[in-house]
Amino acid sequence: MPKKNPANKKPRWKLLHQYYSYTGFYSFVGKSLLKAALPIILFVAALLAVHFFVIDINTILVYVTENFPPIGVFAVFFASESFLGLIPPEMFIAWSGKSEHPVVFLSILATLSYLGGVISYFVGRGIASIPSVFVYLEVKMEKHIKNMRKWGGFLIVVGALLPLPFSISSIAAGIIKFPFPSFLLFGLLRFVRFAIYGVAIFNALS
């Protein structure tokens, strides 16, 4: 048999690009961003409406900073990031920008978000060990679990970087028993997202 010419072998990145194109990864990301865009737009619009017609947002943030202990705000944020990410992180990032130590508070938020993803991962692992709950959630999260099995780490990257539910991606990763060390590595991109959003929001509020 003639040997295959190594020169004709496609680079790994091209093979990955073909795979993600064929399996609909790019389409999924685009549709997810569109879905995520509406709540973000509504949230920003509501903030602007309050800012211009009701009360200065900076005043609200300063009031919260002065009247609520940081530990309480951090606890609420950690609970949200650990269970489905119900509260937009942008609210907490804006709050940290009005604190005495904005960079320190932003770093704490990023760390809590990362650890919240780890909690969600183990929630998924726990779910996978309970047959009745697993069957129920596998139906409810069928699409997300199916996507996690197809795309694995890239879906975690997308959840960590983009305005998509990182907690849900983490739960799905736990359910399919995605390798924990790889999950921890990909999840570190959560810090990148907080750094980018922090710069943008701090500049907007200054």
In this predicted structure, what is the pLDDT of residue 1? 47
Residue with tokens 């997810």: 32
Domain count, the chain: 1
Residue 177 resides in a domain: yes
Residue 81 resides in a domain: yes
Q: Judge whether residue 197 has pLDDT over 80.
A: yes
Residue 22 resides in a domain: no
Residue 50 resides in a domain: yes
Average pLDDT for residues 66-86, to the nearest whole number?
87
Which has more pLDDT, 192 or 25? 192
Residue 2 resides in a domain: no
In this predicted structure, what is the pLDDT of residue 133? 73
Residue 8 resides in a domain: no
Residue 155 resides in a domain: yes
Residue 3 resides in a domain: no
Q: What whole-number distance in Å separates Cα of residue 38 and Cα of residue 99? A: 29
pLDDT band at 138 (very low <50, low <70, confident <90, very high): low
Range of the domain at 175: 33-205
Report the predicted TM-score, pTM, of the whole model to 2 decimal places.
0.74
Q: Judge whether residue 6 has pLDDT over 60.
A: no
